[in-house]
Chains A and B, each alone.
Chain A
Amino acid sequence: MTGQTIVLAADVPFPPTVEDFYLPSIAPWGGHDVWFTKVTLLLWLSVAILILYFLLSYRKPQLVPTKKQWLAESIYGFVRNNIAVEMIGREGVRFAPYLTTLFCFIFMMNLWGIIPFAQISPNAHIAFPIILAVISWVMFIYLGFRKHGAGYIKHALVPPAPWFILPILVPIEFFSNFIVRPFSLAVRLFANMFAGHMLLLVFTLGGFAMINANALLTPVSILSWVMTIALTFLDFAVIALQAYVFTVLTASYIQGSVSEEAH
């Protein structure tokens, strides 16, 4: 038996379930109950890679930038000019470092979803997007109170409208500004990463399932694997887009908090 046929004959579990997202521990001494899984490792790797990359590329900056320095500066320049300043205005520059960190971190974390052997994004576990969304949430509320004092409550909750419909509108404002915002930030990122991983699993495992069921289905299996490759490219677009969307929305919430006029 060649290696290939062993793989083909292997009993592949299909369809994939949510259980596939709960990876076993990679610590050699533990089963499922040791917390150190691939997801943990990927999180640490993301942080380490980002710190190292930006430290190394900004060490000894050149007037004519090297390639590494050029890329790092381009990323920062992109977030500063096209997200921070674009959304918040001139004073947005002071939020550019946080927004760049956020963008790079989410992008790196998402990117693991299509990197061979990693093949899962930590953001496919909702805990990670929740923490990021809570940071954005606390941040725009804090900035609002620092800018407007107690007047922030009025600034955020009272829309420009005649007084007699305000009792109807204020609860809606409260709901959509303080409850829907963090919820939708977290769920959007999580669901995109979860669905991306699930899709790739379905098409990869589905190919094996079909070829195991009937040898006549081999062409369909191959089509399924080709689809996996195509979907990997689609997933890359989603990865970049979701990192961008999360950052832009955070910037737009900050803008709503620090702007002078009632938005």
Chain B
Amino acid sequence: MVAISYLIGGMVVWGGIGWLVDQWLGTEGIGMGIGAVIGGAAGVYLVVRRLGA
């Protein structure tokens, strides 16, 4: 549960922020893509910190 909520949460939060940046700069999906990747990575990092070694 915790792991899933971090993984999805990471992508949703930073993908969402990236989408806002897209709206602001007029780029189409670049910000959201970068955001989702960063969010996914951060989610993995959090899961490892919380649950792993």
Contact call A159/B49, Cβ cutoff below 8 A? yes
User: Taking chain A's interface residues, is the majority helix, strand, or loop, or is none over half, making it mixed?
Assistant: helix
Residues on A with beta carbons closer than 8 Å to the beta carbon of B8: 180
User: B-facing mask of A233-259, CB < 8 A → 1, else 0?
Assistant: 000000000000000010000000000
Residues on A with beta carbons closer than 8 Å to the beta carbon of B33: none
User: B-facing mask of A151-176, CB < 8 A → 1, else 0?
Assistant: 00000000111000100110111011
State which of A168, A184, A249 has its C-beta within 8 Å of the C-beta of B14.
Answer: A168
Complex alpha-carbon distance, A263 and B10, angstroms: 18
Smallest beta-carbon distance A83→chain B, Å: 15
What is the count of residue pairs linking A and B with beta-carbon distances less than 8 angstroms? Answer: 43
Residues on A with beta carbons closer than 8 Å to the beta carbon of B34: none
Chain A interface residue number, banded: 10 to 19
Contact call A175/B49, Cβ cutoff below 8 A? no
Q: Which of B4-49 contact A (CB under 8 A)?
A: 5-6, 8-10, 12-14, 17, 38-39, 42-43, 45-46, 49
Contact call A169/B9, Cβ cutoff below 8 A? no
Complex alpha-carbon distance, A165 and B45, angstroms: 10
Residues on A with beta carbons closer than 8 Å to the beta carbon of B9: 172, 175-176, 180
Q: In the complex, given contacts A165-B45, A184-B5, A249-B1, what are 15 additional A-B residue pairs having Cβ atoms less than 8 angstroms apart?
A: A159-B49, A161-B49, A165-B42, A168-B42, A169-B42, A171-B14, A171-B17, A172-B9, A172-B10, A172-B14, A173-B46, A175-B13, A176-B2, A176-B6, A184-B1
